[in-house]
């Protein structure tokens, strides 16, 4: 009797497993998205729409992954062929490291022509954005998902104060004014003057006051922000003449023939840019400690008159709980730097067709507008950026399209992480005073040359 009981129980358990495996027989499209701003929320929202439409065949499961570990996870997944995720959000600067493992979307489209949306409209993306986010070594490896350039945030109450405007005009001889849509962008001299004025030219705060919160922490902040200063020279007519055109795969830090462009042995643009960066840093609290998040803290706390940061930080900086709520405007820095993310397909995925359908949904014209309204994640499409209704409701939106007209970019080469580490360790010694700017720049250039040479470029 006891044995019969065990046999029956075993059969029931096996049946349950069998039923459950039938119930959950639908395939899953696994999507890994960076868990910041509205990115993962956007992906989740579109996943729900996708599942409503295709849920009888396949369901999308979105996994938010932190910025600090996303690249590590991608590299491990790709190099081991584990195929943990079918779709990844990929920072464009990581494309060099993971590009070989991403599916060629032209091949996917030619294999499944029926899934290509005729209304997708690739022309709706600016060329620089399309070239930077989606192409690598002649292949299309992604679709633009989230945009963003380094943007100047400023205190509107300070810049529009009649007293301060008068005092500034008396001291500097021109108007205190932040460029708006259609105006000429700021020069670095103007930015410097504004920062100096609000640091020591006028007393606008009871606490310690700074003209600028400027990121210079080792790593991505230093690499990207220095590119704003260097890119201004690099993309000037003199820069193009001396260093050649900017290769989209190599970015502003390399010459047209892929030498280190800021090397003092090649030109003096690097040193000029570094000195501009260091000079502006005098008006910032401890720039060598400021990363993307901590840069917004002195500004949000009302201690600095301006800050340089990613446009995506607008919602957190201007939240009702922020001390500067209602007092923030945005403008163009003289040479914005391009950030941003694409969505790409793992080449090991056996669900490329569904992956492409999902990615197309996520980045379509209509969806981009909806996602911006819901989650205010920085858009990639011109139709969203230049939408009048959206611009009325979102004071930071107007700056996005103009910032793409003249923008600097990072390299998309496999050794970027080594270059970033090298710059973060050596060039930051110019910030700490351990090395002179000349020495720091030359040593960084020498190390970059060594890294690039060892990698065979």
Partner 1 sequence: MLGLKRNYSNNNYSKDINIAKIVFIGIPLLSMVLLIIYPTYYFIKMVLSRYDLSFMREPVFIGLTNFINIFSDGFFWSSVFNTFIIVVFAVLIEFVLGLCLALLMRKTFFSGQIIRSLFIIPIMIPPIIIGLDFKLLFDTFGPVNGFLQIFGIDPVNWLGTPFWARTSVIIADVWQWTPFIFIILLAGLQSIPEELNEAAKVDGATGFNLFRFITWPLLIPSATVALAIRAIDAVKIFDVPFLLTQGGPGGATEVLSLYIYKTTFRMGTMGYGAAMALIMLIGLSLLAVLIIKIINLQNRIGWD
User: Does residue 349 touch partner 1 according to CB under 8 A?
Assistant: no
In terms of C-beta density within 10 A (0-12 exposed, 13-18 middle, 19 or more buried), how is residue 422 classed? buried
| DSSP-assigned letters across all residues of 21-65 | HHHT-SEEEEEEEE-STTHHHHHHHHHHHHHHHHTTTEEEEEEEE
Contacts of 81 (CB under 8 A, 6+ apart): 348
Q: How far is the CB of 63 from partner 1 (least distance, A)?
A: 19
User: Does residue 431 touch partner 1 according to CB under 8 A?
Assistant: yes
Residue owning tokens 């990698």: 455
Contact 295, 212 (CB under 8 A): no
- Residue with smaller CB distance to partner 1, 72 or 117: 72
User: Does residue 97 touch partner 1 according to CB under 8 A?
Assistant: yes
Q: Which of 34, 274, 426, 441 binds partner 1 (CB under 8 A)?
A: 426
- Residue with smaller CB distance to partner 1, 45 or 254: 254
User: Does residue 298 touch partner 1 according to CB under 8 A?
Assistant: yes
User: Does residue 100 touch partner 1 according to CB under 8 A?
Assistant: yes
Nearest to 95 by CA among 55, 140, 54, 64: 140
**207 to 246: interface string for partner 1, x by CB under 8 A:** ----------xxx---------------------------
- Residue with smaller CB distance to partner 1, 49 or 289: 289
Cα gap 107→105, rounded to integer Å:
5
Q: How far is the CB of 221 from partner 1 (least distance, A)?
A: 10
Contacts of 437 (CB under 8 A, 6+ apart): 271, 274, 275, 278, 430
Take residue 35 and report the two structure tokens written for it.
């868990």
Helix axes 220-234, 269-281, angle to 10 degrees: 130
User: Does residue 250 touch partner 1 according to CB under 8 A?
Assistant: no
Q: How far is the CB of 443 from partner 1 (least distance, A)?
A: 10
User: Does residue 80 touch partner 1 according to CB under 8 A?
Assistant: yes
User: Does residue 346 touch partner 1 according to CB under 8 A?
Assistant: no
Q: Which of 26, 189, 301, 316 binds partner 1 (CB under 8 A)?
A: 301
User: Does residue 37 touch partner 1 according to CB under 8 A?
Assistant: no
Dihedral sign, Cα of residue 73, residue 75, residue 77, residue 83: positive
The binding site for partner 1 (CB under 8 A) comprises 3, 6-7, 71-72, 75-76, 78-81, 96-98, 100, 217-219, 285-289, 291, 294, 297-298, 301, 303, 414-415, 417-418, 421, 424-426, 428-429, 431-432, 434
């Amino acid at each position: 009797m006891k044995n019969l009981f065990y046999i029956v129980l075993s059969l029931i358990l096996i049946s349950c497993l069998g039923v459950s495996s039938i119930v959950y027989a639908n395939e899953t499209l696994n999507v890994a998205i960076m868990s910041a701003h509205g990115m993962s929320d956007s992906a989740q929202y579109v996943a729900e729409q996708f599942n409503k439409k295709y849920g009888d065949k396949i369901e999308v499961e979105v996994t938010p992954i932190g910025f600090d570990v996303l690249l590590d996870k991608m590299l491990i997944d790709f190099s081991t062929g584990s195929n943990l995720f079918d779709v990844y959000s990929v920072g464009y600067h990581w494309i060099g490291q993971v590009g070989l493992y991403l599916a060629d979307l032209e091949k996917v489209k030619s294999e499944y022509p029926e899934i290509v949306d005729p209304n997708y409209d690739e022309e709706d993306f600016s060329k620089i954005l399309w070239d930077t986010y989606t192409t690598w070594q002649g292949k299309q490896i992604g679709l633009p998902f989230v945009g963003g350039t380094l943007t100047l945030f400023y205190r509107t109450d300070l810049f529009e104060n009649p007293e301060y405007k008068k005092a500034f005009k008396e001291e500097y001889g021109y108007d205190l004014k932040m460029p708006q849509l259609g105006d000429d962008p700021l020069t670095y001299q103007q930015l410097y003057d504004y920062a100096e004025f609000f640091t020591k030219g006028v007393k606008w705060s009871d606490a310690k006051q700074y003209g600028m919160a400027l990121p210079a922490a080792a790593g991505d902040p230093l690499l990207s922000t220095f590119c704003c200063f260097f890119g201004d020279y690099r993309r000037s007519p003199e820069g193009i003449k001396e260093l050649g055109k900017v290769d989209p795969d190599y970015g502003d830090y390399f010459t047209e023939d892929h030498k280190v462009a800021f090397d003092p042995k090649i030109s003096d643009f690097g040193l000029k840019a570094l000195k501009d960066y260091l000079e502006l840093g005098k008006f910032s609290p401890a720039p060598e400690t400021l990363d993307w998040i901590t840069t917004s803290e002195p500004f949000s706390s009302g201690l600095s008159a301006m800050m340089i940061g990613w446009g995506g930080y607008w919602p957190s900086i201007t939240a009702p709980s922020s001390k500067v709520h209602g007092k923030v405007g945005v403008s163009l820095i003289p040479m914005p730097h391009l950030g941003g993310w694409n969505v790409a397909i793992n080449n090991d995925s056996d669900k490329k067709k569904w992956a492409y359908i999902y990615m197309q949904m996520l980045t379509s014209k209509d969806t981009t507008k909806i996602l911006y309204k819901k989650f205010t994640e920085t858009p990639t499409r011109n139709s969203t950026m230049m939408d009048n209704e959206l611009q009325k409701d979102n004071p930071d939106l107007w700056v996005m399209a103009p910032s793409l007209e003249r923008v600097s970019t990072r390299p998309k080469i496999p050794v970027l992480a080594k270059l970033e580490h090298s710059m973060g360790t050596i060039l930051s010694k110019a910030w700490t005073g351990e090395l002179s700017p000349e020495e720091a720049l030359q040593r960084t250039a020498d190390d970059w040359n060594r890294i690039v040479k060892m990698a065979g470029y």
